[in-house]
Chains A and B, each alone.
Chain A
Amino acid sequence: MSLPRPQIADFVAADGASAASTHFRLWLVAWVVVTLLLTGGSLIVGTSSIETSLSWLFSPDAQSSVVLWQIRLPRTVGAWFAGALLGLAGGIAQGVFRNPLAEPYLLGTASGAALGVTLSLIAADTAIGGLAWTGQLGLTGAACIGACAAILLTIMLSRGVLETAGLLLSGIVIAFLMSALTSLLLLTRPEMWRVMQVFLLGSTGFIGWSSATLLCVVFCICLLPAMLFARGLDALTLGDDTAQSLGLSLPSLRLTLLGVVTLATAAAVGQIGIVGFVGLVAPHLVRQTLVVTHRQLLIGAPLCGGALLQAADLLSRWVIRPAELPVGAVTACIGGVYLVVLLWRRNRDA
């Protein structure tokens, strides 16, 4: 008679205390409220004064309707989904690599996506943002292909996904190579430097409903496998051997989750450029306030990431209005200050 194989569910059952679950629900409600407040705030922050924006809300005319519902709202909704995708990708990456410093761009995905976008822009000679559906799909497709190519090369270079240190090192090498290729391509097209500079610093300026819808669809596609495999990530925290002894197939788990990271990162990068720190900081924001399973982390990190990028978008259009700051620079400032505070507190407590 064979012994019953241990199930992952048995392993994580200990986490399901009801007090923690109530705490998590309250936390979720708080972040949803923050998101709604930021969405409301983004409707009244733009190139007009706040009083003017409020008067538009209550007595709209043709132009103010365009500004509110075709520019400001899709922009903040799109920023939320892009941030959510980066938060989700960051949460998964930190789980897969069991490393709190892991982030979505780790395996060369961002550099690969940037290379893909550069190639497609050179080929089509069109704009980032402000494109019709086909253009949005084309750009995201190019970013996806670039990111997939980067991650495939990374996996090939590290000869599989089993050894995380090798995978990380390969990712760094591929990222450098892809960045170098992008720079070389741009040298032949100097007029594209500024466009690419904006892409590399991130911009939410031209997110319309087509971009926002695309980001929403990709987010839903990514969330499903993330939820299904979240328990596998819980098991992985105990080490590869233990996870395997619990019946997990490590290669398929890692490949699927890395696929989700790639898709999520590529979609976000394709629409808003390379916005740093959101994917790194969002999971930390969750862990700082809660003790969570990976399923909860992968629900919480997108909420934090989305709100973070919404806040950054709000600041980027408010600080020097009617001009704009690159949203990536704003997230780097917010994220950088947050990490410094985190380190300072850790040192103080030690």
Chain B
Amino acid sequence: MTIIVYEGRELTRAPQESVLECLQRSGVPVPSSCRAGACQSCLVRAVAGAPPPEAQKTLKDTLRTRGYFLSCVARPTEDLTVSLADAELRCAARVHSLSPLSPTVVRLRLCPEADFAYAAGQFLNLSRPDGLTRSYSLASLPGRDPFLELHIRLYPGGQMSTYVQTLRPGDQVFLRGPAGDCFYVGGRPEQPILLLGTGTGLAPLYGIVQEALRSGHRGPLVLLHGAARSDGLYLGRELRELAAAHPNLTYLPSVLQLAAGPPAEDPPTADVLEGALDTLLAARYPSLRGFRVFLCGSPELVTALRKQAFLAGASRKDIASDAFLTAPPAPVSPPPSATGSP
């Protein structure tokens, strides 16, 4: 049992409680989303005391050295005094445009109001003015695109999904980041690269592919995009055009079951592979020796494919992944009483 000091209040943290749980239990408005140490929404800063190393290891140096840590995975062995992530880490941005990419995915383009440096494929945390935060990967290309592009999967009843659909050009949102290890690294222009994503996992891969091509990457670039049904695929036309313009790029869209959805137009059904992604991958690329591998999207698939890629010969240090963890559903509040609320 240790103490967490926040704004002068001493909060007792129960033995197995994370710092996040302790703070939220005490009414402190710490944002959170994945609650698994990945999305970085729950970032807080230790102003006194040393945060546990496991809660800092995925953070970039500039954050680590300033005492920032991920509160959802922090179970410190000593007392800490914490403050919420400094406002200086936040960047305001204006909505540039919002347009549908598919029945369930919208493209949100944002213009940051201050310099927002990132590498194509990293992710950022998007916050509603009241603090609700979710992570989204960047699909835009820094330097070329004046906007930041996010592909947002709309979940029926989802808090952020509902909010995003109310956004209009000019509205202000808040960003924090970037973070994440999925980005193109130069220096090996002949290396074969496999990019595999499910659903909106395409977003970071789209950015990475464009960055690789812009850098003059000559080795094969294989982009495998999987969806449950054909209406989950998107940007098919753009990717086919990109592949046509760059002989080293291979675009392979796939769905679990072709017959389950409407006939595909973008990309056309004839080009769409059918089957489970891991099976398709094993069949087409039984050896991934020497490959750089990017895996983005469904957590179950990303975990399984990391192992599969490794067993197929890819070195662990050449495998970068981003599991798109979804936030647990918000607790359902009971409907207001018919006789009037207190």
- State whether these chains interact: no
- Give residues in B with beta carbon < 8 Å to A: none
